[in-house]
Amino acid sequence: MPSHTEENYLKAIYKLSEAQPGVEVSTNRIAEVLQTRPASVTDMLRRLGEKGLLHYERYRGVSLTHDGRRVALLTIRKHRLWEVFLVNKLGFNWDEVHDVAEEMEHLQSPLLIRRLDEFLGFPQLDPHGDPIPAEDGAIVRPQHRLVSDLQPGEEGTVMAVKNTSVPFLQYLDKAGLSLGAKIEVLDKVAFDNSLEIRINSNKVTLISNEISCNLFVAD
């Protein structure tokens, strides 16, 4: 039974390795995202290596074993299912759920998660548009494009967010850019890559590159 901290490390390592497939995950990077010191990370890596959850060769970076990947995906599954529960059943807003789910993802009962999944109607996506891994760890990589990659004249529907920070989500709510919103790119400012877009065939707004780099759309 992995501890809370171990689950958090494995989840972080999984996400880092997904962000740059093929590249081994570095100690410093892990320390950075987990807000801790490299020495602490090395320490935990050794322990997780001994438990067979990751391949740890000194100086060579790290990659998850099959078991480690399973634990990471199960933790992500729990996190995202609880987020769906919080939003769809308890009426939380999508910007309020992260910290609570961060705690709930460590509940261990497999029966609980199976029944929760059923209760929620076997959702495929969490409130931020991220895919929910199946019980066996299967996960579908969604076909998305970043809004920042759209050219003038192209359009799409907002499907997911890359960043789930509270200020970003609140900005999107305010701008009418929640999941499902339709976006047409009217113009691109060459100087700072900001975009002029039309939202839901209605209001025209300017969004910065910082925003468009964190928003996914699909046709």
Residues that bind DNA (CB under 7 A): 3-6, 26-29, 34, 36-47, 58-61
By a kind-dependent CB cut-off of 5 to 8 A, residue 36 interacts, out of DNA, Mn ion, a second copy, none, with DNA
Of 69-98, which residues contact Mn ion (CB under 5 A)?
Answer: 83
Instruction: In angstroms, give the least distance from the CB of 12 to a second copy.
Output: 22
By a kind-dependent CB cut-off of 5 to 8 A, residue 209 interacts, out of DNA, a second copy, Mn ion, none, with none
Residue nearer to DNA on the CB measure, 40 or 88: 40
Candidate ranges 2-10, 26-34, 184-192, 209-217; the one touching Mn ion (CB under 5 A): 2-10
Residue nearer to a second copy on the CB measure, 119 or 122: 119
Q: Are 145 and 170 in contact (CB under 8 A)?
A: no
Residues near 181 by beta carbon (within 8 Å), at least 6 away in sequence? 157, 158, 199, 200
Residue position matching structure tokens 């499902």: 180
Helices 4-19 and 66-84: angle between axes, nearest 10 degrees: 100
20-50 residues labelled b (16+ CB within 10 A) or e (exposed): eeeeebebebbbeebeeeeeebeebbebbbe
By a kind-dependent CB cut-off of 5 to 8 A, residue 128 interacts, out of DNA, a second copy, Mn ion, none, with Mn ion
Tokens of 102: 């961060």
By a kind-dependent CB cut-off of 5 to 8 A, residue 19 interacts, out of a second copy, Mn ion, DNA, none, with none
Size of the site for Mn ion (CB under 5 A): 5
Instruction: In angstroms, give the least distance from the CB of 169 to a second copy.
Output: 17
Q: Are 14 and 73 in contact (CB under 8 A)?
A: yes
Instruction: In angstroms, give the least distance from the CB of 47 to DNA.
Output: 7
> Distance from CA of residue 35 to its chain's centroid?
18
Integer Cα distance of 99 and 137 in angstroms: 23
Q: For residue 217, which of 153, 152, 136, 154 has the smallest C-alpha distance?
A: 154
102 lines the binding site for Mn ion (CB under 5 A): yes
By a kind-dependent CB cut-off of 5 to 8 A, residue 27 interacts, out of DNA, a second copy, Mn ion, none, with DNA
Instruction: In angstroms, give the least distance from the CB of 7 to a second copy.
Output: 14
